[in-house]
Amino acid sequence: MADEMNVLVTLNAGYLPPLKVMLWSLHANNPAEKIHLWLVHAEMTPAEVASVEQLTTAFGWDLSNVKVTPDFVAQTPLIERYPQEMYFRLLCGQILPATVHRVIYLDPDIVVINEIRPLWELDLGGKMLAAAVHRGVTNLVDSVNKIRLGTTTSYFNSGVLVIDVDQAREKINAEDITATIEKYSDLLILPDQDILNFLYGNDILEIDEEVWNYDTRKYLIYQTRNLTQHDIHWVMQHTVLLHYCGTPKPWDASSDSKFTSLFLNYQQQVDRFVAAAEPVEEVES
């Protein structure tokens, strides 16, 4: 068996349902892989953690429940409207044990539809991170973000990251993040993602968005950009990570996109598994 892959998720309990769908899809399309899931959070209950462990145990994975201490949370930057957990991915070098050297970070609003190992084995070429850029038909949005943040690199999406944790321990700290937020808070639209690009953009290796961070809102844009070559058949064969960016989310009743049904199918599967595993209460005679 190939070496164990470290997968990092950082979230609050509100995103537990889509997380379970993501984990289910990851196992369904990588059934032979040994995964070590690092569940990093600030305030999940034992019952909520146990609901994740139910899946990891069934998959034969390892689970590390990492509850961030109140002292660490106190120094974590927090902008109103955004949960503090979004910063835990950037600060994973200070949170995870020294034995962890590399992780794949995944947002919970992702489904995995092909083999993820090539991402795990990616040569970072000395960079600290790998991430994708969500470009349109042109690079207009990318250019606007460069001007807004005063950066020279492309604008990377933080939903999928390969992280050299050893480098992150040396280069990323809460003090730098806090200072940047205090100085540029009026310019920050997506705080953790803006911070990622503003402070660490030069240390990021770009990966193919249509393979590793496919924005499900942009099917027609991808089609236009690739002269209709990357149709749904191409996506199902080549794309690995579908990212349900923006709103509505696929679990919302108002969602009706090309990729909504795929998410809902995985959701049905995991819900059926959980329901079947629930103990049946005995009826008194």
Please state, rounded to an integer, the average pLDDT across all residues of the chain. Answer: 90
**Number of domains observed in the structure of the chain:** 1
Query: Is the residue at 145 inside a domain?
Result: yes
pLDDT value at position 98?
A: 97
CA-to-CA distance for 126 and 204, rounded, in angstroms?
9
Q: According to the model, what pLDDT value does residue 145 have?
A: 53
- Output the domain CATH number for residue 230: 3.90.550.10
- pLDDT of 37: 98
Range of the domain at 19: 5-277
How many whole angstroms separate alpha carbon 6 and alpha carbon 22? 15
* Residue 282 domain flag: no
Residue 285 belongs to some domain of the structure: no
In-domain check, residue 12: yes
> What string of pLDDT tens digits covers the 285 residues of the chain?
469 999 999 999 999 999 999 999 999 999 999 999 999 999 999 999 999 999 999 999 999 999 999 999 888 877 766 788 989 999 999 999 999 999 999 999 999 999 999 999 999 999 999 999 988 644 545 555 554 556 667 889 999 999 999 999 999 999 999 888 887 777 777 778 888 998 999 999 999 999 999 999 999 999 998 888 899 999 999 999 999 999 999 999 999 999 999 999 999 999 999 999 876 554 454
Taking residue 161's Cβ as centre, other Cβ atoms within 10 Å add up to 26
> How many residues are present in the chain?
285
| Residue-level pLDDT at 198 | 87
Please report whether residue 284 resides in a domain. Answer: no
Q: Burial of 246 by CB count in 10 Å (0-12 exposed, 13-18 middle, 19+ buried)?
A: exposed
The type of residue at 127 is: K
9, part of any domain? yes
- What ranges in the chain are assigned the alpha helix state H? 16-28, 46-59, 70-75, 92-95, 117-120, 140-149, 165-171, 174-184, 191-200, 209-212, 219-225, 232-238, 260-277
Asked if residue 283 belongs to a domain, the reply is no
Cα–Cα distance measured from residue 226 to residue 214, given in angstroms and rounded to the nearest whole number: 14
Angle (CA) 27-245-274 rounded to 5° is: 35
77-94 per-residue burial string, b: 16 or more CB within 10 A, e: under 16 = bebeeebbbbbbbbbbbb
Q: CA 172 → CA 91, 133, 142, distances in Å?
A: 6, 21, 24
Residue 192 domain flag: yes
Instruction: Give me the residue label for tokens 């961030």.
Output: 68
